[in-house]
Structure 1
Amino acid sequence: MDLPGCDPGRLERTYAQFALVNRAIAGWHGIYRARVRPRLSPDSPTSLLDVGCGGGDVSVLLARWAARDGLRLEVTAIDPDPRAILFARGRHAAEGVTFRQSTAAELIEAGDRYDVVVSNHVLHHLDGLPAFLAESASLSRGAVVHNDLRRSPAAYALFFASSWVFTGSYIRRDGLTSIRRSYTAAELAAAAPAGWTVARHAPFRNLLSLDTSRGGYRARPAANG
């Protein structure tokens, strides 16, 4: 689905079906309660950046949960793929989330910063994990939480057995590839720079997190070349 020439109809169905998958098994409600909600206030707004937002469903869920709890959360969701942003804006136009076609590097260049930075299912796509983590840390003045798949034979077998229902999209093929590409908890801990923490999260997730509010971490951009 990342290829520029992929079928647009199948791609739109993929974005739509990802909303069902993420709601069912990505574990974001628990992450919201434990990692995001304690930082929110009913009186002053908290800013949150969702990096690599895809179809925008996770961004919208976070905004909805905060509004339901009477808390003020301003969500900005970015993705470099114009197809993702077009879908997200069309599907979630009235949801109180700002969707922008952008990269994290472009936001850093503009001087933007956010109280909380999150991503969903991004880490296993990356060739340059340290550079991405440095960017997300630079954009955060509070917390960073990256939620990604945790590779295991059980996760692959369960998705293989259940994903046949997602017809007409790229979910099954890309999902199985993503599980194979994802990290175990030990692998992710070894790959992440000092200061980052890896925690297992059900079902079959890794949470890679960083507290930037205490000033003890200084993100260093990856060297060119």
Structure 2
Amino acid sequence: MDDFSQNGAELQEALIHLRRLNRIFGASGPALYGVKQLWDDAGRPNHLTLLDVGSGSGDINQSILQWAHKLGVKMKVILADVTEEARIESERLFRNDSRVTFVKCNVFDLPACHADIVTASQFAHHFPSEKLPQLTKRMLEISRYGIVINDIHRHWLPWTAVWVFTRLISNNRYIRHDGPLSVAKGFRRIDFRKLAGQLGISTMKISWRPLFRYAVIIPKQQEGATDVQGS
């Protein structure tokens, strides 16, 4: 799914099948966990704008929207992705929800302070390690309150589980190839600690979440000494 030269019906089908995998593996949990924390830190505002970069069809945001509705928070979600297939699938998925809009663009083209919270769910692992600081810094620039990186723990157990489930639920080449590869390109806690040091981030919370995922929460801050928290 990193190769945009072969877009079309197969990629669109992959986005549909990916939603099934996301439900099976609880992919929305870490994003919601992080958004709740940043919302708390911001004083629990009544209005909240969330920007999801590399969103795909944006299905991970459904649980966040449900949470906001339950609490009476007026939320707007902006989905940002570079592919036409993501636009088609997101507009189909959220066709009856006026709170969600889609923009076809690259994360590096978005303006500063474009949203309260910026999330990247299963997106950061698509970047080589040397580009991760650049992505994180850009996400922080785009946000007003902070960012949440929701990504996969690199470990043999989730790799095996994903390999099995992708073959049970899909014949799609993208899903069968990219599912296990995403786990292999995932993260360990030390990767995020290194990221904090590279950017001089004074507060970063790294939380291991079910099922084999990390929620990395970085509030908007002034530059300072690195003080990384883990849980």
Preserved contact between residue 31 and residue 121 of structure 2 (Cα < 8 Å): no
Is 1:102 the equivalent of 2:105?
Answer: yes
Q: How far apart in 2 are the matches of 1:65 and 1:35? A: 13
Q: Amino acid of the residue matched to residue 166 of structure 1?
A: I
Give how far 1:9 is off: 2.6
85 and 35 in structure 1: CA distance in 2 versus 1, 3 angstrom threshold: same
What 5-or-longer segments of structure 2 have no aligned partner? Answer: 225-231
Deviation at 1:7, TM superposition (A): 6.0
Secondary structure of 2:46's partner?
Answer: coil
Q: For residues 116-136 of structure 1, give each alpha carbon's deviation from its aligned partner in whole angstroms, at most 9, with x where no partner exists.
A: 111110111012111100100
Q: Quick one: distance in 2 between partners of 1:131 and 1:7?
A: 26
Work out the CA distance in 2 between the residues paired with 1:52 and 1:102. Answer: 9
CA offsets 1:155-184 (integer angstroms, 9 cap, x no match): 112222232122232212111111111122
2:196 is the alignment partner of 1:194: no
Instruction: Return the alpha-carbon distance in structure 2 between the equivalents of residues 42 and 141 of structure 1.
Output: 14
Report matched runs for 1:123-138 at 5 Å. 123-127=124-128, 128-138=131-141
Identify which of 216, 222, 226 aligns with 1:216. 222
Change (3 A) 1:43 1:149: closer
Aligned-CA RMSD value: 2.3
Whole-angstrom CA distance in 2 between matches of 1:123 and 1:100? 19
Q: 1:162 aligns with which of 162, 165, 189?
A: 165
Q: In the alignment, which residue of structure 1 is the partner of 2:228?
A: none
Structure-1 residue corresponding to 2:227: none
Does 2:85 correspond to 1:83?
yes
Report if the CA contact (8 A) 1:166-1:172 is conserved. Answer: no
Provide the C-alpha distance between the structure 2 equivalents of 1:64 and 1:44, rounded to a whole number of angstroms. Answer: 15
Contact residue 34 and residue 216 of structure 2 kept, 8 A: no
1:43–1:72 Cα contact (<8 Å) kept: no
For 1:10 and 1:166, locate their aligned partners in 2 and report how far apart those are by CA, in whole Å: 15
Q: Distance in 2 between matches of 1:106 and 1:6?
A: 23
- Deviation of 1:106 after TM superposition, in Å, equals 1.8
Identity across aligned pairs (percent)?
Answer: 21
Distance 1:54 1:199 in 2: 24
Q: Give secondary structure in 1 for the equivalent of 2:56.
A: coil
Letter in 2 for 1:2: D
Q: How many angstroms does 1:216 deviate by?
A: 2.2
Equivalent residues of 1:59, 1:77 under 8 A apart: no
Consecutive unaligned residues in structure 1, runs of 5 or more: 219-225
**2: CA distance between counterparts of 1:44 and 1:155?**
37
Aligned counterpart, 2:180: 176
Query: TM-score when scaled to structure 1?
Result: 0.84
Against the structure 1 CA distance between its residues 27 and 5, is the aligned structure 2 distance closer, same or farther, given a 3 Å change threshold?
closer
For normalisation by structure 2, the TM-score amounts to 0.82
Q: Is the 8 A contact 1:60 1:97 kept in 2?
A: no
Q: Give the alignment partner of residue 64 of structure 1, picking from 63, 66, 69.
A: 66
